[in-house]
Amino acid sequence: MKKLLVYLKDYKKESILGPSFKLLEVLFELMVPLVVARMIDVGIDGGNKEYIIKMFFVLIALGLTGLISAITAQYFAARAAVGFAKKLRHSLFCHIQSLSFSEIDKIGTSSLITRMTSDINQVQSGVNMTLRLLLRSPFVVFGAMIMAFTIDVKAAWIFVVTIPLLTIVIFGIMLLCIPKYRKVQEKLDKVLEITRENLTGIRVIRAFCREKEEKKEFDKRNEELSVVQKLVGRISGLMNPLTYVMINVAIAILVWQGAIRVNAGVLTQGAVIALYNYMSQILVELIKLANLILNMTKSFACGNRIQAIFEIKPGITKESGNINLQDGSMTDVFVEFKGVHFAYEDSREDALSNISFSVRKGEMIGIIGGTGSGKTSLVHLIPRYYDVTKGEVRINGKNVKDYPLVSLREKVAVVLQKAVLFKGTIRDNLKWGKKDATDEEIYKALTIAQAKDVVEKKEEGLDYVLEQGGKNLSGGQRQRLTIARALLCEPDILILDDSASALDYATDANLRKAIQDMKNRPTTFIVSQRTSSIQNADKIIVLEDGELVGIGKHEQLLNHCKIYQEIYYSQFKKEA
């Protein structure tokens, strides 16, 4: 948590002025009991109405000055806390963007969302309350004790005994709560995870009539969160009753001793009232301090969770270098896999084993295999979404690890299995491929992707606004737009990861022909479940359980590769 405070460095002025104005407010507050005491001893006892009115206006002046100081302190504290949260959120988002797929898979998307939202909001609240109350409450407590000594030393010892006992109670409860709050956030992660899964897969859930089962699972996770929250609530709930009891006992003793000393003529009635007021101030401030401690406890737990993300070092970094895809050996081989092995994080078995093949520039490569055979894993190694665990992936004779990550990915365009579009116009979405693309270039890419008609049928054309995820388009339309977006950046390597699954056979065939007819034809990898989509490829790679079991043209594999035969004839029979 301490390491996160670096994000407050641009708000040093606010971080100083906020507590300073709070301390100024406290000084005025501590003067109030003394004014009241003088009002009683001099004004009421002496029957001096003018003095009472004078002290009355003094009290109003102290109150107004304290109010102005409190508002000013709140302004600076809020400014610092919100600015801190803004910078922290931005830095965390940038750090998450730098993590490889492996780290994101390990942490979990739902956990990252919780830390970006709930945890940072909690830390922001903690910073705000800390700047306002961390100095104020102890200052009031010890200030009241010191002021009590100026009134009566013997009565002030009641303060000396009460304050340490209250401190022990508050910090004891805090130490018990800190680990529990961490568990609360972990359980919240689980609730968010299942919520996200249900919202994402709502259609699948309804299609298989799994609503009741999913509700039961959600209730189970929610109950686990509720149990931990109740436990923390019971422990933290002890704070107010215990502090109230101790303070009220101290007040009772103070009033009792004060009455005895007033009768003896040692103390005045105004002095007893002032001591009572100081004890009441301590009560109010300790309640505030207790709430602050609870808030800080939550904030520390959340801050440590955020810090844990920052401490994860990216497995794939943006190396500096001057190598680009045009440098390298002058051989015909453009993409080469040499003895590649790959395993996912914490997996005991390899997802890919001993994969070796080479591809010439401009070739179209088909990749096929059963579910879980490693097709997507294979193509994700080319742009370094994951790194190989053994062997090498080479582009233009150089290991992909030797290229700067940004320049590598600028020349490798990937269209993932799930078509992802963002809220905004079609033009804005396509310009992700090329920021300065002209409408002419956009329509050229749309034509190749067989998506020109999608735009032309819309009255607004390229200015047609897409909903989040492109939900106001069909699956095939979304896929074609994502392919157009990839083509717009004019990649050297184009990876279509089962990205034409929603297209009909004719559109799919026209798409592949248009890519092959491109002037600067990219080296294309087509991952597909349909043999019809890849049978005209220059080379077809057949995978089974992460191993390469066949490579060649359609006719060769149909004659010699059993796995390819099974896939082809099963589909051929269905089509027939």
User: pLDDT digit string (tens) for 385-399?
Assistant: 888 999 999 998 888
Please report which confidence band the pLDDT of residue 1 belongs to, taking 50, 70 and 90 as the band edges. Answer: low
Q: Is 358 helix (H, G, I), strand (E, B) or coil?
A: strand
Q: How far is CA 247 from CA 37, 285, 288, in A?
A: 21, 11, 14
Which tens digits make up the pLDDT trace of 244-296?
Answer: 788 788 888 888 888 887 887 777 888 888 888 887 787 778 777 777 877 88
Residue 99: both structure tokens together: 């993590």
Please report which confidence band the pLDDT of residue 87 belongs to, taking 50, 70 and 90 as the band edges. Answer: very high
Count of other CB atoms within 10 angstroms of residue 424: 14
Q: How many CA atoms lie within 13 A of 234 on its CB side?
A: 5
Q: Report DSSP letters for 329-341, one per residue.
A: --SSEEEEEEEEE
Least-confidence region, from 188-202, 411-425, 473-487, 513-527: 188-202
Q: Is 366 helix (H, G, I), strand (E, B) or coil?
A: strand
Q: Please state, in angstroms and rounded to a whole number, the distance separating the CA atoms of residues 429 and 533.
A: 26
Which tens digits make up the pLDDT trace of 455-466?
Answer: 988 888 899 999
Residue 169: beta bridge partners?
A: none
Q: Please state, in angstroms and rounded to a whole number, the distance separating the CA atoms of residues 37 and 42.
A: 8
Q: How far is CA 8 from CA 2, 82, 292, 391, in A?
A: 11, 10, 19, 45
The length of the chain, given as a count of residues: 576
Count of other CB atoms within 10 angstroms of residue 168: 10
Superfamily, domain 2-310: ABC transporter type 1, transmembrane domain (1.20.1560.10)
What are the start-end ranges of the H helices in 264-384? 269-310, 375-380
Per the listing, tokens 């699954």 go with 501
Reply yes or no on whether the pLDDT at 337 is more than 90. yes
Q: What is the mean pLDDT of the chain?
A: 85
Mean pLDDT of 220-231: 90
524 or 200, which is more confident?
A: 524
pLDDT at 300: 83
Residue 494: beta bridge partners?
A: 413, 524
Closest alpha carbon to 368 in 379, 360, 358: 379
Reply yes or no on whether the pLDDT at 469 is more than 90. no
Q: What distance lies between CA 195 and its chain's CA centroid?
A: 16
Beta strand pairing status for 523-527 and 493-497?
parallel
Closest alpha carbon to 368 in 376, 356, 359, 360: 376
Reply yes or no on whether the pLDDT at 182 is more than 80. no
Break the chain down into helix, strand, coil percent, rounded to 5. Answer: 65, 10, 20
Which tens digits make up the pLDDT trace of 4-57?
Answer: 888 888 888 998 998 899 888 888 888 888 888 888 877 787 778 888 888 889
Which tens digits make up the pLDDT trace of 114-135?
Answer: 888 888 998 999 899 888 888 8
Q: Report DSSP letters for 463-528, one per residue.
A: GPEEPGGGTTS-HHHHHHHHHHHHHHT--SEEEEESTTTTS-HHHHHHHHHHHHT-TTPPEEEEE-
pLDDT at 276: 81
Least-confidence region, from 100-109, 287-296, 301-310, 492-501: 287-296
Taking domain 333-419+485-575, whether its CATH number is 3.30.365.10 is answered by no
pLDDT at 149: 83
Are the C-beta atoms of residues 546 and 557 closer than 8 Å to each other? no
Tell me the domain boundaries of the chain. Answer: 2-310, 333-419+485-575
Which tens digits make up the pLDDT trace of 298-307?
Answer: 788 888 889 9
Q: Please state, in angstroms and rounded to a whole number, the distance separating the CA atoms of residues 404 and 441.
A: 27
Q: Do domains 2-310 and 333-419+485-575 have the same CATH topology?
A: no
Are the C-beta atoms of residues 359 and 336 closer than 8 Å to each other? yes
Give, for 415, the enclosing helix (H) or strand (E).
strand 412-415
Residue 355: both structure tokens together: 């994969």
